Amino acid sequence: MARPHIEPFCDRDVPFKPMKLKGFGGGMHYKMLSLDTDTGACTMTVKLDGGYAQKPGFSWSELELLVIEGELQVGDKTVGKGHYFFVPAGHAMPAWRSAQGCLLLMMYNTGEPSLVESDTHHPDARTDRYHETDSYNDIPWALGNVTKPNVASGCLIKLLNFNDRSHALTFLYCMTPHFWQDNISYHDCAEESYHLWGDSWMMQFGTVPTGGYFWRPAYINHGAFASELGCIALGRTDSKLFNHFHYNPWSTVEENQARAAARTAERDPLLYRWIVQHGHNHPHGPEDFEDTMQRIGGSRKYRSVQPDKNKPFAHSHGQHGQHHHGDDKAHDHDH
Ligand SMILES: [Fe+2]
């Protein structure tokens, strides 16, 4: 199974444990933030003691790394707070040292933490995907509109990595002081965040402080949002990010899934029919709760023709019904 829902959680509430896995140097300590127990993929806060030293080597897993505090020497280069590395599986890193010690966020994406001593890359490593940046100094903040509809103004991002196959994202985000956004979100992807500094607040899970963390599977409601003093955080998604916004705090994961599918059926009807309906000419997409929920002034569907809820696959044939075929075609109700 994938990683479970972890929220609310703050790494300041748990102690470091010594890292004992083969290959890593002595003086490495970790806090496990989330773990996929099938693959070993995980996110950890890691503390390296002053004087830490690690031999050159590669991991069997893809690794993302952000320096939270302190300085780390990677080969000849000294990097500090905010430095980000994307290291493909099998890509050999030079020796590490930390004279004064440092705090890192380490994300092993495809397998458990590992370090194989080597000064050359594995022959199958996708070395072209390696990149690093001083994210605090070398990237300007941009509007949070990497996806539409987008977050409220005052939530800004720095894009750190984009997976061109899955559209998974890694980014820094900040909320300006007194940021607020009054709607509720869910996504078709898992979402992860580590608060590097500051606080933010969500209606469902309360205040996320410095060191606050969540791994949130898809379709779980979160928001409204607010931040009193502002915050800076590292965020990730495991696939394409789309903001499903709404104002129904009671909708369930199943209702959110159905609504997401209904929106796919509306937006990409041919794709939806091919994948889900297998060519079967049935007019009924899944239910979008916003189309049928009771509300002041009446729901969208109640304003046209009220469906008969007692009949399976009951639906409106009114002009706003969700039909995925030309109106000249007969409906096929054979299953
Ligand atoms: Fe979100």
Of 138, 156, 182, the residue that ends a domain is: 138
Are residues 118 and 181 both part of a single domain?
no
Are residues 106 and 188 both part of a single domain?
no
Between the CA of 223 and the centroid of ligand 1 the distance, in Å, is 8
Say if 279 falls within a structural domain: no
Say if 262 falls within a structural domain: no
d(CA 235, CA 194): 7
Say if 301 falls within a structural domain: no
Between the CA of 273 and the centroid of ligand 1 the distance, in Å, is 28
Between the CA of 29 and the centroid of ligand 1 the distance, in Å, is 30
**Residue 273 gets which letter from DSSP?**
I
Say if 304 falls within a structural domain: no
Say if 287 falls within a structural domain: no
Per-chain residues with Cβ under 5 A from ion ligand 1: 185, 191
Are residues 165 and 204 both part of a single domain?
yes
Are residues 14 and 120 both part of a single domain?
yes
Q: What is the CATH number of the domain that holds 76?
A: 2.60.120.10
* Residue 142 · residue 172 · CB < 8 Å: no
Between the CA of 183 and the centroid of ligand 1 the distance, in Å, is 11
Domain hosting 70: range is 6-138
Quick one: which of 191, 205, 35 has its CA closest to 109? 35
Provide the domain count of the chain: 2
Between the CA of 301 and the centroid of ligand 1 the distance, in Å, is 28
Are residues 123 and 17 both part of a single domain?
yes
For every one of its 335 residues, what pLDDT tens digit does the chain have, with 9 covering 90 and above? Answer: 699 999 999 999 999 999 999 999 899 999 999 999 999 999 999 999 999 999 999 999 999 999 999 999 999 999 999 999 999 999 999 999 999 999 999 999 999 999 999 999 999 999 999 999 999 999 999 998 888 899 999 999 999 999 999 999 999 999 999 999 999 999 999 999 999 999 999 999 999 999 999 999 999 999 999 999 999 999 999 999 999 999 999 999 999 999 999 999 899 988 888 887 666 666 667 788 888 887 777 666 554 444 444 444 434 333 333 444 433 443 444 43
Say if 252 falls within a structural domain: no
Residue 303, CA distances (Å) to 122, 297, 308, 315, 320 in order = 63, 8, 14, 14, 10
Are residues 125 and 159 both part of a single domain?
no
Between the CA of 14 and the centroid of ligand 1 the distance, in Å, is 25
Residue 211: phi, psi to the nearest 5? 85, -5
Are residues 209 and 151 both part of a single domain?
yes
Q: Enumerate residues 6+ apart whose C-beta is below 8 A from 209.
A: 10, 12, 195, 199
Between the CA of 31 and the centroid of ligand 1 the distance, in Å, is 24
d(CA 177, CA 37): 38
Are residues 171 and 151 both part of a single domain?
yes
Tokens (6 digits) for 244: 């499903």
Are residues 194 and 151 both part of a single domain?
yes
Say if 104 falls within a structural domain: yes
Are residues 131 and 163 both part of a single domain?
no
Are residues 151 and 130 both part of a single domain?
no
